[in-house]
Amino acid sequence: MTNLVAERRFREIVPPLLDDAYTLAKWLSRSPTDAEDIVQDAALRALSALSTVSVDRPKPWFLAIVRNAAMTFMARNRRETMAYAGDLTDLDALDSRGDDEAAPNPEQALIAAQDGERLRQAIANLPSPFLETLIMRDVNGLSYREIAEATGAPVGTVMSRLARARAMLAKTLRSEP
């Protein structure tokens, strides 16, 4: 049986983060129903963890659990592999302005970004290390340090993944539909 302290901590921490957790899980699993299972699993893990740990920064802590629950879920339930070895060399592959002769036109990029469905599709197509970094930053509002904490990656890696994720999105949105 779970103890009362854990339950009290749980009530303080988890319900306020539910929307963040659900949104993250939905992006990572790309499925609303799977997202519910993932969040429920994460909540159970959080509840049992809270009987032994107290938490300084609830948001990165709980979102880390959600992220790990999503990984486990995907590994168990999907054939497609999530494995990806991303590290500091991520940025090496980045040619953010390689196609410079066509001088990227800000207006054009902006208009493209107005097209919500296209943008969401472009986000969903990001490889998972970039996807999770982008969502944690721009949707969940975590700081770089918190994303590093939640994903277990060094801050430098978080920075390069985020820069690359945005560059990839911008590039996709600039290209012809």
Partner 1 sequence: MTDPDMDERLLRLNAALDGELDAMAQLAFEREMRDDPALAAEYRRLAALSDAIRRHAPREAAPQALASRIAALAPPAPPPESATATVVPLRRAWRDWRALAMAASFAVLGFAVGAGLTSLRTPSRSGGVAQNLVSDFARAEIAGQPFDVASSDRHTVKPWLADRTTVSASIVDLAAQGFPLVGGRIAVIDRVPAPTLVYRHNEHLVAVTELPPDFTGVRAGGGVETIDGYHVARWRDANLAYVAVSDADETALAEFVAAFRRGSGAATEPARP
Site residues (CB under 8 A) for partner 1?
2, 4, 6-8, 10-11, 14-16, 18-23, 26-27, 32, 36, 39-40, 43-44, 47, 91-92, 94-97, 104, 106, 109-110, 113-114, 116, 119-120, 123, 134-135, 137-144, 146, 159-160, 162-163, 166-167, 169-170, 173
Nearer to partner 1, 68 or 96 (CB): 96
Centre a 10 Å sphere on the Cβ of residue 153 and count the other Cβ atoms it contains. 21
Are the C-beta atoms of 11 and 52 separated by less than 8 Å? Answer: no
Are the C-beta atoms of 134 and 123 separated by less than 8 Å? Answer: yes
* Cβ at position 78, least distance to partner 1 in Å: 21
**How many Å apart are CA 141 and CA 134, to the nearest integer?**
10
* Cβ at position 87, least distance to partner 1 in Å: 14
| Cα angle, residue 77 at apex, residues 147 and 79 outer, rounded to 5° | 95
Nearer to partner 1, 79 or 177 (CB): 177
